[in-house]
Structure 1
Amino acid sequence: MASAHEAASGIRKWALSKNLMRPLPAAVEATFIVDVPAAEFPEDAEVIMRKVGIASISYNETDNIVNVHTKRRVTQKELTVIPAEIFGCNVVYAHGEIDELGQPPLENQGASYSVVTVAGKDHYCCGSSISPGNAASAGTLGALIRIGTEIFGITNNHVTGGCSHSPLGLPILAPGVLDVGAGGLYPFTLGLHKSVLNMVPGDGGNVDISQNTDAAIFSLIDETRVSSMQGDAYDTPIEVIDPTDGMVVEKVGRTTGHTTGKIVGRMLLPVGVSAAASNYEYRATVLFPRAYIVHGDGSAFSTNGDSGSLVVTKKIDGSYAAVGLLFAGGPDAKAPGNMMTLILPLRAILAKFNATLVGGHNVPPP
C-alpha cells in the first residue's frame, strides 16, 4: 500500500494530465510531489471532477487519507462513481476553498480581548484583538517573543504588517479599531510595527516562494501593559514542537476565543491565498508552503478575526507546547462548523526572527 503522500501525488499528476488543476513551475512540483505514476480515474469520474473542479489536495499520513477539496459540492450519487480509494489510500471529496486574507472579521462571538490583573495592575492578554492604527480591522495578538533582550508581539503579516506595506513605526492598537466601542476598554498603542517575513506573490517560477510565510512583529511601548497569558485559558508555552497529522490542538483568538480541534492533514502543494490590504490598494495571490489543516472539535476552530492566533498542543504530562500560527481558513463541508483552519509551523517562523517564545510574563499566580 502506498503512503498518503504518494496517493495525493498520483491524484495531482492525473489532475494535471487532464488540465483539471493549474500546474506550478517544474521545480516547485518536484519539491512537493513524489515520483509515482499518475492515478487512474474512469472517464465518467473525470466528467464529474471536471464539473465540480479541484481547488486543492491535502493528505493525512496517520489515517492514510487523501482529501480532494472541490470547488463545488459532490453529490451522493456522484460519490458512487468517483474513486473512494487510490493506491490503497482512502480518498475523501470535501467541498471547500480558502478565504481571502485580510477580510473584515465577523462579529466576535465573545469578548474580543482579555485582561488579567496582577498585583493590582491590568495587563492585556495574548489571544486578544489588535490592529494597525490606520486600518478599520481586527486580528489577534498571537504571543510575546524575545529577540535578544527585547520583547515583541507576534501576529500575521496581514494583521499588522499590511501585507508588507505597513511603514516601520506604525502604531499597533489594542483593542483593534473594529473592536473600539462605548463602554469598552479605552484603545491604547500597544506597540510599533517592526518587521515582517517573506510574503512574495508569484507562481514560484519568477520568485522564490519557498520562504513565504505570514508573520509580523512589533515592538512594545510598555512591557508592563501586556501578559503572556492566552486569554484566561493558559500561559504561552516556551517549548515549540512540529505539527503532526492527528495532533489535538488549541488556540485563543479574537473572534471565537478558546477553541480545540485536530490537525487533519497537510496541503500537498503550496496553497494559493488571495491577500488584500485595502488601505494600501494592494491585492495579490501568495503561495504558502507547508500549511496544515485544522478542524474544530464540534464547531469551527476559527473564523475571521482569529488570524495571528498561537496554536498549541497539550502533551501527555499536561504541559503545553506551541506548534503553529493561524493564518487562513475557508469553507469545508467535512469540518465541524463547515470551516477549515490553516496554520503554518511556528518553529521556522521563530528561527527566521531569531526569536523564542515568552511565558510567565505578568501571569497571575496559580
Structure 2
Amino acid sequence: MASAREAASSIARWAINNNLLGALHANMDSQYLDPVAAATFSQEALDILRHRSVSSIVFNEVTATVYVYTDKKVTVKETEMLPKVVLGCSVAYPQGPVDEIGGPVENAQGSAFTMANGPTNTGVYCCGSSISPGNEASAGTLGALVRKSDGSIYGLTNNHVTGGCNHSAIDLPILAPGVFDVAARTIIPFTIGFHSEVLPFVTGTAGNVSINDNTDAALFKISDASWVTSRQGHQYDTPANAVAPAVGMKVQKVGRTTGHTTGTIVGQQLRPIRVQAQSQRNRFQAIITMPNVYVVHGDYRPFSDSGDSGSLVVTNDDSGTNYAVGIIMSGGPDSTAPGGKKTSILPIAPILKGFNVTLVSGHNVT
C-alpha cells in the first residue's frame, strides 16, 4: 500500500490536471507532491468535485486517510459516486472552505484573560490571555514569552494579531487585555509591551513572490517582566523546548476565547493553502499562500475559535514532559470535526529560529 502522502499527491495531480486546484509556478509542486502518477477519477466524480469546489487536500499517515476538502457540502448520493480508496488509502470528502485570519472576534467563552499570583503575591498576566494593538478594537492571544540573546523578554503571537498584517508601527503599544475585552469592574487595561517585529508574509501568486517562508508571527517587547508570567493560564507552564508537529499527536492549548482545550493533529495540508488575511485598522485585505500547515480537531468541542489566534500549542510525551509544537494561525468549518470547526496551526520551531529567540519557562511561576 502507498503512503497517505503518495495517495494525496496522486489525487492532487489529478485535481491540478483538471483545473480543480491551481498549479504552483515553475514546477513548485514538485516540492510538495510525491513523484506518483495522477489518480484516475470518473467524469461523474470530476463533475461533482468541480461543482462542490476543492479547497485543499490533507493527509493522515496514521490512519492512511486522505481528506479532499470542498467549499460546498458533498451530498451522500454524490459521495457514492466518488472514489473511496486511492492507492490503498481511504478517501473522505469533508466540507471545509478556505480559512480566514484577522476576521471578526467572538466573545470569550469564559474570562478572556488569567491573572496568577507572582513571587511577591502581586498579580501577573498569564500567557493564553487577551491582547491587541492599542489602536484597534480587536483581541487575540499572547502565545508565549520568548527571550533574545541579550536577555530581553518578548511576547510571541501572530502577525495578524499585533503586527497589523505587516503594518503595525514599530513601538506601537500592545494592550492587555485586548481593546475588544476591556470592560467595567475588571482589570484596568495596561500596556503589556510595544510592537517590535514580524516574520513578514508576502501577498501574491507563487512565481511573482516567494511563498516558501510565509508564516504568521510577531513579537512585542514586554514593558516590565515583573508584570507577566510564562504560565499558560492556570494549566501549565510554557515548555522550555519544542518538537515538530506530527499527525496523531495529542495536543492542548490555552487561548483567549475557548480557554484550555485538548485535541489531536489529524492531518497535514499537502500543499500551501490560500488563507484570507485582513487588518481592519490598516485597511488591508489579501490572500496569503501559507505552507507547512497542520490541522487539529478538538477532542469533543472545537479546539479553537476566533480570538484564539496566537495560542501556543503544546504536546506531552510519555514521561510527562511538555513540549511546544506550534501556534494557532486560523480556523474554519470542517464537517468531520467536533463542533464543526478545524484549527490550522504552524510549527513553532521555524518561528523561534526566524526570530532567533528561545522559549521562556519558569518565569514568575510560583
Structure 2-normalised TM-score? 0.98
C-alpha distance in 2, partners of 1:27/1:138?
39
C-alpha distance in 2, partners of 1:198/1:171?
19
C-alpha distance in 2, partners of 1:200/1:114?
34
Question: Partner letter of residue 293 of structure 2?
Answer: A
**Structure 1 segment 302-341 matched on structure 2, within 5 A:** 302-341=304-343
SS in structure 2 of the partner of residue 55 of structure 1: strand
Deviation at 1:27, TM superposition (A): 3.3
Which segment drifts farther, 251-260 or 197-206? 197-206
C-alpha distance in 1, partners of 2:100/2:185?
32
C-alpha distance in 1, partners of 2:330/2:180?
19
Gaps of 5+ in 2: none
Deviation at 1:38, TM superposition (A): 0.5
Gaps of 5+ in 1: none
Q: Point out 4+ residue stretches in structure 1 off by more than 6 angstroms.
A: none
Task: Check conservation: 1:98, 1:329, Cα contact below 8 A.
Answer: no
Q: What are the Cα deviations for residues 171-222 of structure 1, in whole angstroms up to 9, with x where unaligned?
A: 0000000000101110000000000002101121011111110000000110
Question: Partner letter of residue 50 of structure 2?
Answer: R
Question: Partner letter of residue 109 of structure 2?
Answer: Q
Deviation at 1:26, TM superposition (A): 3.0
Question: Partner letter of residue 77 of structure 2?
Answer: K
Q: What fraction of aligned residue pairs are identical, expressed as a percent? A: 51
C-alpha distance in 1, partners of 2:8/2:82?
15
**Match of 1:140?**
141
Deviation at 1:99, TM superposition (A): 3.1
C-alpha distance in 2, partners of 1:334/1:270?
21
C-alpha distance in 1, partners of 2:286/2:312?
25
C-alpha distance in 2, partners of 1:18/1:271?
18
Question: Partner letter of residue 8 of structure 1?
Answer: A
C-alpha distance in 2, partners of 1:168/1:28?
34
Q: What are the Cα deviations for residues 268-293 of structure 1, in whole angstroms up to 9, with x where unaligned?
A: 11111111111111111111110000
1:188 to 175, 178, 190: 190
**Match of 1:88?**
88
Task: Check conservation: 1:98, 1:328, Cα contact below 8 A.
Answer: no
2:353 to 329, 351, 354: 351
Deviation at 1:20, TM superposition (A): 1.4
**Match of 1:45?**
45
Task: Check conservation: 1:104, 1:138, Cα contact below 8 A.
Answer: no
Task: Tell me the matched-pair count.
Answer: 364
**Match of 1:270?**
272
**Match of 1:220?**
222
SS in structure 2 of the partner of residue 94 of structure 1: coil
Task: Check conservation: 2:71, 2:98, Cα contact below 8 A.
Answer: no
Q: What are the Cα deviations for residues 287-309 of structure 1, in whole angstroms up to 9, with x where unaligned?
A: 11100000001100000000000
Q: What are the Cα deviations for residues 298-335 of structure 1, in whole angstroms up to 9, with x where unaligned?
A: 10000000000000001111110000011111000000
SS in structure 2 of the partner of residue 27 of structure 1: helix
**Match of 1:284?**
286
